Amino acid sequence: MKHSFLSGNPALDFAATLRSRRGAPFEMLTSAESLDSWFLESGIVNESTRCKPADVRQAVSVREAIYSLVLARMGGEEYSSEALSTVNDAARTPPAVPQLRPGGRHIEATSSQALSTVVRHAIEVLSGADAPLLKECADPECRRVFIDSSRGGRREWCSMEPCGNRMKAAAYRARKRKERQVSL
């Protein structure tokens, strides 16, 4: 499975596993295998967490709580007590622990430990120096939240491919249409 990691923080990338939230939502965490794949591809773990269907339900609940907290933080609103409770409960589980092996760093974890690691990233981004840098992609079909660490803080899209390119092409077509109407 191919997941994308464009947000600058694993918790924000995890929140983006429900794609196109404001358009036609597309769920990426559809099975235990897809959740396990996300943990592997994100680098949270180096080998299978052996996820079960109950782990997926918990992960989706945690993902939605993280997303709720991120939107509240960006909007200057109070956090939902339910979302706070969900995130804090998950953070109480010990996180994935890296081990040093002859071949280098290796991380084994259960699904709950991997999820705890993701939640701890969410807590760090929401309470740390990156919190004011949170932005939502300007592509109305995407709306992924990312950390804008660009010079001047003027980044508009989660990524140029495909969001930035799609938005720039749409703006170009709109300008050309307007030019044609003015010249008539």
pLDDT per position as a tens digit, 97-119: 999 999 999 999 999 999 999 99
Range of the domain at 52: 10-136
**Domain membership flag for residue 164:** no
Considering the domain boundaries, does residue 3 fall inside one? no
Exposure class string for 140-176: b at 16+ Cβ within 10 A, else e: eebbbbbbbeeeeeebbbbbeeebbeebeeeeeeeee
Report the predicted TM-score, pTM, of the whole model to 2 decimal places. 0.87
**Interval 7-66: pLDDT, tens:** 999 999 999 999 888 778 899 999 999 999 999 999 999 999 999 999 999 999 999 999
Domain count within the chain: 1
